[in-house]
Amino acid sequence: MARMIFLLRHAKSSWDDPSLPDHDRPLSKRGRKAAAAMREFLRSEKICPDLVWVSSARRTRETLEALRPFDHAPKAEVKPALYMASAQRMVELLRQAPEGARALLLIGHNPGLEELAVLLAGDGAADEPLVRRLREKFPTGALAEFNFDGPWRRLGPGAGKLTRFVAPRELA
């Protein structure tokens, strides 16, 4: 079965209140604007996941809220294990995705999210222009789309084909 994995780094967070723990930082004004631009992009491209997994951090949950409403309401789950997760930990979680899910949107954090994207693309794709861009920087609010064939439990290095990489600055 063909599947799609969308990796979305949370939008820009605010550092206005230095007393807030990292987990509790909200989106900045710029982040809210970028998330709204990504919402419009998702709609224009008719991207609507079946399932959304989001880190428990405030900025990731606010990013998800800014993306709503989707054309077809996906099941959304807060996954505390995604907060600052390593690429390997995210692979472990993705391997447990329900087999009925065809398109999964994961909203998380760097450096793990960028490392996961590079891992999914694999070493053989390093010369492809999209992969080169992704390896340079995975900015806040950016979206990477991968196609993957097979069951979720087989997800691993090189298993995904990067088909799209979009940063908010490209949408303005």
How does pLDDT run across 6-61, given as a tens digit for each residue? 999 999 999 999 999 999 999 999 999 999 999 999 999 999 999 999 999 999 99
Residue 76 has pLDDT above 70, yes or no: yes
Predicted pLDDT at 63:
98
Q: Identity (one letter) of the amino acid at 82?
A: L
Predicted pLDDT at 125:
66
Rounded-to-integer distance, Cα 72 and Cα 108, Å: 22
Find the mean pLDDT for residues 147-152: 94
pTM for this predicted structure? 0.96
Is 143 in contact with 38 (CB distance < 8 Å)?
A: yes
- CATH fold of the domain at 2-12+23-170: Rossmann fold (3.40.50)
Rounded-to-integer distance, Cα 76 and Cα 105, Å: 9
